[in-house]
Amino acid sequence: MNAQEYIASGNLELFVYGTLSEAENKEIIAAMEKYPEVKEEVEKIETTLKSLAEEVAPKVSDNVWVAINKKIFGGTVKQIETDKATNWPAILGWAASVLLIMGLFWMFNQNATLESELVEIQNENQELLEKIISTEESLAETESLLNILRDKNIKAVNLPGHAPVAPEAFAKVFYNQNTQTVHLDARGLPEPPEGMVYQVWSLKMDPLTPTSIGLLDDFASIDNKVFVLQGIPESEGFGITLEPAGGSVTPTLEQLYTLGVI
1-39 pLDDT, tens digit per residue, is 888 888 888 787 777 767 778 888 888 888 888 888 888
145: left (phi over 0), alpha (psi -120 to 50) or beta: alpha
Query: 225 versus 50: which is more confidently predicted?
Result: 225
- Side chain identity at residue 11, one-letter code: N
**Quick one: which of 246, 233, 161 has its CA closest to 199?**
246
pLDDT grade, residue 172 (50/70/90)?
Answer: very high
Q: Mention every residue, 6+ apart, whose C-beta is less than 8 A from residue 256.
A: 162, 165, 239, 240, 241
Question: Dihedrals φ, ψ of 209, to 5°?
Answer: -130, 110
pLDDT grade, residue 215 (50/70/90)?
Answer: very high
pLDDT at 80: 47
Please determine, for residue 68, whether its predicted confidence score (pLDDT) is greater than 60: no
pTM given for the model: 0.48
153-167 residue pLDDT tens: 888 899 999 999 999
Measure the CA dihedral 246/251/253/254, to 10°: -10
| Residues 192/242, Cβ–Cβ less than 8 Å | yes
Residue 202, beta-bridge partner list: 211, 238
On average, the pLDDT of the chain sits at 79
231-242 residue pLDDT tens: 999 999 999 999
pLDDT at 94: 64
Domain boundaries along the sequence of the chain:
3-56+87-126, 154-261
Of the listed ranges 16-20, 58-62, 142-146, 168-172, the one predicted with least confidence: 58-62
Please determine, for residue 45, whether its predicted confidence score (pLDDT) is greater than 70: yes
| Residues 224/184, Cβ–Cβ less than 8 Å | no
CATH of 154-261, one of 2.60.40, 2.40.10, 3.90.1720, 2.40.128: 2.60.40
Query: Can you tell me the mean pLDDT for 140-156?
Result: 71
109-126 residue pLDDT tens: 677 777 777 778 877 777
204: left (phi over 0), alpha (psi -120 to 50) or beta: beta
